[in-house]
Structure 1
Amino acid sequence: MRVAAVSLRTVHHERTAATTRFQSVLELLADGGFDVHVLCARWWPDERDVVAEAGITYHGVVPDRDAGRSFLWRLPVALRRLGPDVVHAAAHRPKQVTAAGWGTTLSRIPLVAEWPGSDGHGDPADYRKAARRADAVVTPSRLVRTWARERGADGDDVTVIPDPIDLDRIRSVDPASETDVVYSRRLDEGANLESVLLALAELRDRDWTATVVGDGPHREMYEEMVSDLRIEDRVTFVGPADRDERIAIYRAGHVFAQTAEYCLFPTELAWALSCGCVGVVEYHVDSSGHELVEGRERGFRTTSETELTDAIVSAGDLERRDFDDGFAEFDRREVREQYRGLYDRLREECGLIG
């Protein structure tokens, strides 16, 4: 199946939550045999109109990444020339969803909008137009689904498809040295690592160790906080780590703490839970972290510092595991099939198959 992906800017231009999510979808599809073509601004240095990388073909619709208006004008013609089976547009720039719609109407090709939840470039009216124009809207979590509906998306047209994990890869990585509590995220203004550190400080009289994965502008502040709380001998900051290094740490961990104030989809939590960690999530109105632990025996949802401390203690009483097969729905193969099923359903509705 040929998929035309629409995004003026890609991860090659800027790495944001929205472009990273969209790129992960494209790579997932390409790995599954989809013929993926990205219509974007040229990001490569030479004058070629088309380049290929990692099984994905990129078409430079415009030479300048800032030529947004020119991109919108040229997009419908570029889509007609490409002749895709489905168009998948990144909605963090909502006008490109509407412009893509101009190129799909006459051909009756289905249009899917990947709703970002962040990094938006457009006013509410633009998002409402994009939501109405798309045949289906995809969001990474129920939280973002709510935001999409608030922007005008029809609830029946919104499908939640999570970020994927790789269960086979988890099985292939050996656990690192044991640790009791793991926290993993970029250490910026939304990290809220202090909630975890304060909770652990309340447990000084217990035997525990903690590992913090990630780097960022607030790392030094958190390292100073650990020293002030007199728990520096128990907390290890490992800095940035690649995926296999994170898997090894998660498989060796007992409890994974998710306390970030803003989270579109708790990707690291999903990996950690699949690695056998018990999930402890602090609820925040702009975070979807709680969605992965609700109704799960090895999951705790907290709303206060006291509850967070108590949950870490209770989680520590559960057995250690280094793998949990209860998260197969998040595996790459399953997530890819959700996209395939959505495309097939929309194409059937358009009379293209059946």
Structure 2
Amino acid sequence: MRVALVSMYTPHHEETGATIRMRRTAELLAEHGHDVVVLCAKWWDGEVIEFAQNGVTYHRVTDSPASGRFASRVPFALREVKPDVIQVTSFPPSCVTAAKAAARFLRVPVVADWWTRDDRGGSRSYRRAAKAPHAVLAPSEMIRTQVRELGASVDATHVVPEPIDMDLVREAGVQERADVVYARDLDEHANVESFLLALAELRDKDWDAVVIGDGTERSNAEQTARDLRIDDRVEFLGELSADEAVPIMKGAHVFAQTATREPFATNLLWALACGCVSLVEYQARSAAHELVEGRERGSLVTSPQELADEIVAARGFDHRTVDEDFARYDSRQVVSQFESVYESEIDDFGFF
């Protein structure tokens, strides 16, 4: 299948949840035998129109990101690549409607991948973008609900989560570096303070903790640990690859999720697959609770004090290093979900 992914931005322009998901999807589809081309603003050097990386072809639409110019040129670029299906990221929303216009002439379906609503897009544009595609993919039920509130129909929306590599989880070693783990980009939504405040409540207990991740708020988090006088027991490891983080999660007993904004809690999913007892501080703009609701080895909390109490209670659970319940999130399973939506939309489009 020839798949065109339309995304003005790539991780080479800016690393966001949406661009990282786009690249991951493109590379997974390519690994599973699909012909994948990403229509984007140019990020490579030289004058070539196309650039190949990790099995994916990147096709220049504009020389730099500019939503108006990019949207106006998307239909012409799509005619050049002649895809069987078009998948477009939801930001900028003008690109979704541009892709839909091109699809009418190409007679192929358009699928929008909706990570979250970017603050740089206008309400009216997002409403048009939610209604335009033949199908909308969301990483979580929370995001699916948001898209439906913008006008997408129930039947047109599908949850396709972020993937993990279960083979890596099964085969990785165990590194007993910490009892409690926090892992996430340390940006303005990380809310590491709640995690650290909970640990400070447990000064008289025997524990060690690590924080995995880097970002603009790391220095503030490190200062908070010093202010709480727990910096000798909390190690900040910076950004780690999955190969590096998984052994630490397999050696830990508890994973804490406190971020205030999370369309899909990928690091939490890795921890759950690694057998961690996972504790989630409920946040209105986070979908993390969806992964632990109803699970014996997971709890929802609403404050640092409750988080501290649940960390202590987690000692009542046995230590595990793999949880096969989460094999359904393996990359092979997630790719099949993308393929199922594509095939269904192609069949329906051909019928009508």
Equivalent pair of 1:196/1:259 in contact (CA under 8 Å): yes
Q: Distance in 2 between matches of 1:197 and 1:152?
A: 40
Letter of the structure 2 residue corresponding to residue 148 of structure 1: V
Classify 1:65/1:224 alpha carbon distance in 2 versus 1 (closer, same or farther; 3 Å): closer
Matching residue of 1:24: 24
**Equivalent residues in 2 for 1:92-107, closer than 5 Å:** 92-107=91-106
Alignment map for 1:299-318 (pairs within 5 Å):
299-318=298-317
Contact 2:109–2:346 at 8 Å: present in 1 too?
Answer: yes
C-alpha distance 43-216 of structure 1, shift in aligned 2 (>3 A): closer
Q: Does 1:55 align with 2:61?
A: no
Secondary structure class of the residue paired with 1:106: helix
Please state how far the C-alpha of 1:120 moved relative to its aligned partner.
4.7
Deviation at residue 318 of structure 1 after TM alignment? 0.5
Comparing 337-346 and 115-124, the one that deviates more: 115-124
Mean CA deviation greater in 232-241 or 289-298: 232-241
Aligned to 1:156: 155
Equivalent in the alignment of 2:42: 42
Instruction: Say if 2:266 is the partner of 1:243.
Output: no
How far apart in 2 are the matches of 1:225 and 1:276? 29
Letter in 2 for 1:217: T
Shift of 1:74: 2.3
| Partner amino acid, structure 2, of 1:201 | A
Offset of residue 230 of structure 1: 2.6
Q: Which residue of 1 aligns with 2:4?
A: 4
Q: Mean Cα displacement is larger for which, 13-22 or 342-351?
A: 13-22
Deviations, residues 182-210 of structure 1 (Å, cap 9, x unaligned)? 01112232211121222122222221111
Once residues 233 and 45 of structure 2 are traced to their aligned partners in structure 1, the CA distance between those partners, rounded to angstroms, is 48
Number of the residue aligned with 1:347: 346
- C-alpha displacement at 1:178, in angstroms? 4.2
Which amino acid counterpart does residue 75 of structure 1 have in structure 2? V
Hey, what's the Cα distance between the residues in 2 that align with 1:64 and 1:299?
45
Q: CA RMSD in A?
A: 1.6
Q: Please give the alpha-carbon distance, in whole angstroms, between the structure 2 residues aligned to 1:270 and 1:247.
A: 11
Aligned-residue offset at 1:229: 2.3
CA displacement at 1:226 relative to structure 2: 2.1
Judging changes above 3 Å, is the alpha-carbon distance between structure 1 residues 352 and 11 closer, same or farther for their aligned structure 2 residues? farther
TM-score (norm 1): 0.95
Report if the CA contact (8 A) 1:16-1:119 is conserved.
no
- The equivalent of 1:329 in structure 2 is 328
8 A contact 2:264–2:288 mirrored in 1: yes
**TM-score normalised by length of structure 2:** 0.96
| Post-superposition offset of 1:270 | 0.4
Mapped to 1, the partners of 2:183 and 2:260 lie a distance apart of 14
Please tell me whether the aligned partners of residues 100 and 132 of structure 2 are also in contact (alpha carbons under 8 angstroms): yes
Specify the alignment match of 1:320 in structure 2: 319
Partner Cα distance (1:189, 1:106) in 2: 43
Matched residue SS, 1:100? helix
Give runs of aligned pairs for residues 77-116 of structure 1, distance below 5 A: 77-116=76-115
Q: 2:186–2:217: 8 Å Cα contact kept in structure 1? A: yes
Gaps of 5+ in 1: none
- C-alpha offsets along residues 202-225 of structure 1, whole Å, 9 cap, x if unaligned? 222221111111122322332232
Question: Is 1:214 aligned to 2:244, yes or no?
Answer: no
Distance 1:49 1:299, change over 3 A: same
Would you say the 8 A contact 2:194–2:303 is kept in 1?
no
Aligned 1:114-133 pairs, distance under 5 A: 114-133=113-132
Q: How many residues align?
A: 352
Q: Does 1:193 align with 2:192?
A: yes
Structure 2: state its 5+ residue gaps: none
Question: Which residue of 1 is the match for residue 138 of structure 2?
Answer: 139
SS of 1:351's partner is helix
Contact 2:201 2:305 in 1 (8 A): no
1:278 aligns with 2:277: yes
- Cα-to-partner distance string for 1:19-38 (whole Å, 9 max, x where unaligned): 11211111111111111011
Distance 1:130 1:177, change over 3 A: same
Cα distance, 1:9–1:227 mapped onto 2, change above 3 Å: closer
SS at match of 1:297: coil
Q: 1:289 to 1:59 in 2, by over 3 A?
A: same
Q: Is the Cα contact below 8 Å between 2:175 and 2:251 reproduced in 1?
A: yes
In the alignment, the residues of structure 2 paired with residue 232 and residue 45 of structure 1 have an alpha-carbon distance, to the nearest angstrom, of 44
Q: In the alignment, which residue of structure 1 is the partner of 2:202?
A: 203
